[in-house]
Structures are given as structure tokens and as C-alpha cells.
Structure 1
Amino acid sequence: MKRLVMKFGGTSVATTDKIKQVCQLILRQKEQYDDLVVVVSAMGKTTDKLLAMAYEVSTRPVAREVDVLLSSGELISASLLALHLNDLGCSAESFTGFQAGFRTSGSHRKSKIEDLNPTLIETALKRGEIAVVAGFQGMNKDGDITTLGRGGSDTSAVALAAKLGAKCEIYTDVDGIYSVDPRIRPQAKKIDRINYEEVVEMAHQGARVIEARSVELAAKYQVPLYIALNTGEVEGTYVANFTEQTGERKMEDFKLTNVSAIENILLVSIQGLPNLSFESSKCFTELAAAGVNVDILNQVILDRDNSAFSFTSDMDSKPEIIEVLDRMKLEYTYVENLNKVSIIGSAMRNQVGVAAKAFNVFIEQNIPFYMVSTSDISISYVVKAEDKNTIINALADAFGL
């Protein structure tokens, strides 16, 4: 039995006219599959508008009530889409996240899927209906509606695909995944096939096509993903485990995949912390307790007794970082509004000389970097904001992206 889960983001269902357009794509896919489930986000900027309204009526909105409010956005999209499908003669039924079987845990606004029991969805599919599900939401053990946070609708779609044994197609306002953001590099190449781990790394390093958590879930349950333009008229990008052994990526096996960037980086340098001291440990424990995410961390041993630490975080965490360091009476400096540029590709495991080649690009462009970090499939450089586009294009040229 061929099953498909289709997910449409906010831009794809931003107006009733756009909802009518995506219904045509849904009908075309219905001809190809036995069972079809559609997951939708809220229309356009509805979530942002609803959140703003919450603050118009409350100075400190209660998280539970905010989740109830925000969840209504997806319900509107789902019901409108189901209404139009029925108008087109295609039987469809909309479902809340709870009705679809999503059981959640964790905090409001950023809960996680604890379990999924799509009994009502299965029943609708057996009746030959298209099930239209409100993404981004579920219900916790206390019977409260919760929302899944950033990327929640993508995660809802992947979870349903995993449970139903279906493929998952994610439709958005871009026609796939590119080697570089086309707004920075118009000649960037669209990637036909890419591995889960590369997309996860891209998402963590600034690419905005899909959230990392949904791809991590797809990789865990081996759900084939397809990311494409919401018109369905242009071939998109397939995400799975493509290997040389399968013959599906042999020609690209020793190529890098992507150059991505994250803006608004804060670089903090702390001087004179004792080596292997409780004070060093306490510093980063206090930062974590304040909700600060430390990304890149470097230590330089100054002498037998003292070290200097440098780390990066996002600019939004600056007040919390300063409060912790001042409270601990530490000596520090910081540089604001930097960018992190990353080159990404599973080919790094087998290819020698990637770091050297990238280093030469920085030299040729006369662009310094503040910090560098590496992972199994990426190398990241912290640079000035004004150098971001230049170095991205230069790296893309050097690595054929």
C-alpha cells in the first residue's frame, strides 16, 4: 500500500487562493497514492500575529493559554483546506493534533512528541478520505494543548509518516536544497540527493529550508523526505541515506555539499581562569543555568597555572552572559555581530586537504577569522559580518558549489 504525508508551510497556505492552489497538487498526488495525509502550518504570519495579540492583552501571558491561542492558527488552515477539498469532490476531514494522536511532554511552547497513536487517521484513510492534520501541536498527560516549538509542523509530518509507514513530502516557497543560499549566490546549485546527516548539519549551521529536529526524526525512523516548491512543478531535493554502495551518490561521493552561515554571533574571551579549576567549571555551569547556549569553545593555556577561554553564542544571550561574568568578577572582552560560515559535506570523512584548501581561500581573500571549529562533516569559521558574502562565494568557487 502506497502512503504519503504531504506538509505545507505557512507561505504555502498564506491565503485562501494559495490554499486552493495546493489543493490541486494534493489531488494530483491522490491519484498516485492509496492513502494521503496532509499536515499544515498556520496561514502566513498568523502565529506571530496571535503571539502579538497575547501581549496586547497580557503583560505576562500564561504559557498554557498562549499554546491554546497559537494552536488555533493550524486549525484554521486545516479546516479551510479540508473544506475546499470537499468542495472539489474529494472527501477530506480535518484533525487537531490531539485527534491525530499526538501525545506530548515537556514545556509549553517547546514540547516534544512523547507518543503518537493515529487511530482516527487510520479510520479516515480506510474510508478513503484525505486526513488533514493541524501540525505543531498535541496534548500532554494533563489534557493541556501544547505546541512543539520551532519546526513543529515539519516534525508532526515526519512523525506521522514514520508511524504510518509513509513517505514525507515537505512543500515550501523554495524548490529544494541548494549548495549556497541563492540570495547570496544566484548561481548556487540545487542538490538533487543529500544524506540526512548533511541536512541536519546544514540546519544547525544556518540553512533555513527545514529544521534539524524533523530531519533527525526522519533519519531515526528512515523516513524518505522530499523537499520541493509548493506548486509541485519543479523537481525538488530527496533526503535519505544515499551511499556509494547503493550507486545513488557515487559521482558526488568526494564533493562537499553546502556552505551555510549564521548571523548575529557574539564572541566572548575570558582571561586568567585557573587551569582545571572549580571556577572554570562554575563559569560554564552558570552560563548553562542562565539558558546560554555555548557553541564554539576554545581554551588556550597561558602558563602552568592559567588559561584563557573563548566561546561563541548568539547575540540574544548577551545580557545573560554579561550578568554571569560580572557576578563572578571575571575579566572578559567581547566582539559583537559576527557571522559563522560553515562548509559541510560527508565527503570530509574520506577527503584529505579540505581544511588546507579552505585556509588558502581565506588567505587569498585577505579575510581573517576569529575562531575555527570542526566536526565529522563540517568546518566552521567565525568572521566579520561584512566578510560573510565574500568568503561564502569564494569558498563556493573553490569547492565547486
Structure 2
Amino acid sequence: MLVFYVVFFFLILRFTISLFNFISNPKLPVSPRRYTDLVSILIPARNEAGRIEHLLQSILGQSYQHYEVLVLDDQSTDDTYQICESFSRLDSRIRVIRGNALPDGWLGKNFACHQLGQVAKGRYFMFIDADTRVGEGLIDNAVHRTKRGRLALLSLFANQVMETIGERIVVPLMHFILLNLLPLRLVRISKNASFAAASGQFMMFDGPMYQIYHWHAQVRDKVLDDMEIAKLVKTYRLPTETLLANGFLFCRMYSGYDEAVNGFSKNILAGFNRNIAGLICYLLLVMIGPLFIAYYLSLSLFMFAVTLILLSRIMISLMSGQHVLWNVLLHPVQMVSLSLIAIVSIIRHFTRQSMWKGRSI
């Protein structure tokens, strides 16, 4: 009976958090006015030749005009630098910087962002990943939200673009875990650093404040630099907010199942603060819990549990702009994939064999 109570409590808690997120609607709102502040759009890029062109084109298509674009080529071995250089010849607001060699004690992306922050001149620093695309209105909306809340950090979880079944099996897990475990509005409301979340796909900082705190330097060796920075900002008692991009930012993170599993496995254990026991307990409650109810208890209780899970998936899919039916149908396969990702992440943690873009992390 103790196991039953634990399983049901966790199931109802997750549903309640999903419902809270759905009702509170934590999405980036539309700005009621236009701004002219200089925004530094900062893009760390390593071997992004197949993606960064789409991002730069989407930036140039923005109605917001007062910005500078700084691309740091992080020792790419493909045509990333040449592609960005061709854009810089078309528009003087775009500049390409060759990154320095990676020093000891740093992870690649963190060092690239730190270098960008040292040369940026804007009132706001907008760090975005090279595999994203900017929707019309993003910059105005983000500036308005940052000004209105006097935020040190605004982070957005992008709408995820998925083109293969393999991506649909893995990529939705990010929003599922986030919106099933964290009441997103509490990132802004609560001063507790435990209520922290951020996505490195979009992080807008108050520029002068960034140059005081050097956020990326403070998390130089952290895999989840975005989460660690969010915790730091809250630790310093500075206001931060994390929202869903609401169709103003798109990202295709991975191009297939294997790449998605590899990408998520480098992050998931860090997302649980490298607590292997905590990750295993979460998996057992999410996966084995409903099966335990089905085997030991009544069919009606099992159907109640299934109903809560389905309603959670529907609400999370609608919030994140994902296909509801795909997520409902693929839920069992997604949970199996989540276990696989966790196993790979734990193995890599003990063997210290985690690699990303040719570098050990």
C-alpha cells in the first residue's frame, strides 16, 4: 500500500503541475509597442554549415532593425565561417569572429558565449543557437518582456520542429519533463533557486548586468550551462523568467533518432543534478508506476491513471505547439526511449566517454 500511495501521489502531482502550466499559459506575449534599443544577437557556431544560413535569413527578415549580429566560429571544420562571412558582406550589422582555442577547464559552448559577451555592445544580449529560426516579432516581444519585468535573464523554450518518426519519439520528452515537473510561472514568482529553468536555445540578458557578472564564465565547466546560469541569477536575487516561445522561435534540434538519443543523453543526468538515484526513481515512478497499478489493483484505478497521463500529454502538447495525436500514440515508445537515454547517460557518466561535436564533455 505504501508503494501505491507513492505512485498515486506522484501521478496526481505531475498532473496538477501540468494543469497549472496549462491554465497559467506561460507563453511569450506580444509586445504592445516597438522598441529601438540596440540588441546584440550572439550566435556560437561550431560546424553549423547546414543550419546557420536559415537563422541568419530569418534575422534579416525581422522588422526590428536596431541590432548587431555576432557569430563566433568555434573552430569549425566545415564551411560555417565562409557562409557567415558571405552574409556579413551583405549586411554590415553581421560580423563573424574566429574563436580562440579552448582553454583547460572550459566547455566549448560556454567559452564561445563568454567570448561573444566580451565584444557585444548592445543594451540586451540575445544568445541563440545556430539551429534556431527567428519568427517575426521575437525581438520586440523579448525586449518588452525583459524591460517590463526588469529581468536579468529571459529564456525561451523554442517550438520544436520534427520531421522524422525518430525525432517525434525523443524530442517531445524535453517539454514533457519540463512541464510535468516544474510550474513554469514560479521561475519568475519564487525566489527559491530550486524553481529554475532555462533553455540555451534562447537566453536574453540585460547587457550591462551580464558584463558585471560574466555568467558564462561562472559556469565554464557545466554541461547544462543554461540551467546553471538560471540558478545563479536566482541565487543573486535577480529577476529571471522562463517562458514558452509561443511560435516566435523555432528549432530543429536533431535530424533523427540516433542523434536525438545522443544529444539528450549528454544532458538528462545533469538535469537531475547528476543524481543517479533521483533519475532512476523518476523513471520507475513514470514507467513502472502505472504497470504496478494495473497488476496489483483494480482496472478502474488503472484507467484513472491512464486518463491523467493522457490529459497531461494533451495539455503539454497544446502548450508546446506539438502534434497531440502523435504524442499520445507514441507515449509508450517515448517512455522506453527515455529509459534508454537515461541508461546511456549513466554509462557515459561512469566511463567519462561523453562526446559532442568532436569534443569530450
> What TM-score does the superposition give when structure 1 sets the normalisation length?
0.31
Structure with the greater alpha carbon radius of gyration: 1
> What TM-score does the superposition give when structure 2 sets the normalisation length?
0.34
* Higher RCO (CA 8 Å, separation ≥ 6 residues): 2
- Name the structure with the higher strand share: 1
- Name the structure with the higher helix share: 2
